[in-house]
Structure 1
Amino acid sequence: MRIGLIGTGRIGTFHAAALNRNREVGSLVVTDADPGRAHTLADRIGATVAPGVDEIFTWGVDAVVITTATSAHAELIGRAARAGLPVFCEKPIALDLPGTLAALREVEAAGTVLQMGFQRRFDAGYTTARAWVRDGRLGRLHTVRAMTSDPAPPPAAYLPLSGGLYRDCLVHDFDILRWVTGREVLDVYAAGSDAGPAMFREAGDVDTAAALLTLDDGTLATATATRLNGAGYDVRMELAGERDQVAVGLDDRTPIASTEPAGPPAADKPWPGFLERFAPAYEAELVAFVDVVRGERDNPCDGREALHALRIAEACELSRRERRAVSLGEIPDA
């Protein structure tokens, strides 16, 4: 199998190395807006460098992996669909609903595969939590708490391009909330704070956010995020039912300290970032993509799943701006 990879930044480099380790991938063709960066990666892993995106679609690849800047995702998804190629794309499809829906229409019209990069679906902790919810081990689920805390803000130049904290960061929590519980979000009430560095206010974004979500079976969920967690990278989920409760992401590298005299000590080596925390999950999602391309498994996260998560993020942003509860029915899905 020959795969074309577009975008050789941090996550693209990580994905290229994972694909290079896959025995089913015979060759890899990479390209980037920065040719030097593409050549550096290619030299390291033995890949071929394409002069540009056009060559990715004309050099006979069997599938495409998109890890470019978000602004290019929708156009490249459309090109892959028109070329009849299966595509893996890092989230999001686009930063807005019209762009997302337009790309999905192209994929659906072409009848091609679009697998989205929501890597938490391949993390061992979340996978186990999903199984325990589904087999009734927790009893009736009544409360879910999801959180994502970045250790440091992204560069100021990234913020206006990110779509904001709900779309860029919490969208992962919204996706995994649906996936683990098997339920849909009915309505949200969200708030955000821009009391941190001035660059968030200047970008019209917030550095910390919280949302209360009501699921369609009455379960209550909270989702919180911050760009300013100096203790380290902290991603967790707690699920509480009438019989038991469990936590995802709680281990000896979780950057949290207990104030109890007999509590566990603070992490000696807290997680520094998402690549380290989710490295096995990133690897697993690309193994799954190769299997999908080979026709050996169903698509584990198609474009409609990304749309559902984006609609929740859109509802939260609307709720934050207008200071009111927002029904998901207010957010278009077609």
Structure 2
Amino acid sequence: MPFEALGEDILLRIFCFCDISTILTVSAINKTLRRIALSKQLWLSLVLDPGFRDALDLPPPDREQLECLSTKDLIAVIKNAVIRPCSIWDFEHDESSMSVLTSVSIPLDEDNRDRLQARLLPGARYILLHSTSTTHRRLCMYDVWSARRIWEHLVQVRTMCVVDLVPGCSIARIFFAKSLDYSNPSSPLHVKEVDLNTGASHELFNFSFHSNVFGVTPRAIVGDFLLGILHSDNPKYVLINWRASIFVSLGHADSYSIPKFRSFTVRRHVELIPGHILSTYSLPALCIDPSSDATGGVFRPLAAANRNSHRPCGSTRGSICVHNYDSKYHNAAEAGI
């Protein structure tokens, strides 16, 4: 008996057990199968299917909203969820797509509503809230999809933080420190690791500078590396490998004038992204071996930061430089822009 002779109700039920690729392939056989493949009931079932949503790491569906959509709109929802749509999606050679707006409300405690700072983390699943009220100062991590508070931590006044989501797992690492405090110059750095599934956390790293450092402004955390500004008589950018407890100074964090335009000043700026250091001034090759003959930036034990002055590396010429680095920072290459 031909497949299409089973009856539309049976074929529709069979299609509901198929993956999207199979449905699209079968729909090209003849008009009867194509008509069944374009039924709203089928595509609504596919959009709501837990296996489909789990595979693409999609948030929980709003069934009431999805039931109001047409078949064409439901297909567009799936198109937008798939990273690389191709020609097999095109039932009617229509390249139009639609956007679905999802609204999530997160209930907050009364103490968290005063002077609240919010930061949506990459991937738009987690949000970091920094409460700076007069009674409580704390960091909170929420799961946006479930509106559930995962983690919270009390912090001191003037605390700033940056977050790194570890690729391939549900782990966040948070680098936080007091940005500037002349009255209490002790400046501890902290790196905490948070399990985003359970909310369990533990400290990976902490280090305190002596009183000659008035504070630290966290700029980035990428893998084993921290980028920050040490506030002292001469503020400096420092790059710290927290796992190896070594550091290198990347130069002064103040402003400098451009020779051809003496009235024009530029503030030095450094950014840390995976595999690269982006700076507005030249940096030499970085070396992890303190005994090396390298004349540029040499990584030193972090304990030396409290004993010696940080010799800055790099020039102040106006430029944008991109420095490639690997995990050992041997001979980091520079590309000037």
Q: TM-score range by the shorter chain?
A: under 0.3
- TM-score, structure 1 as length reference: 0.25
Higher strand share: 2
Higher helix share: 1
- TM-score, structure 2 as length reference: 0.25
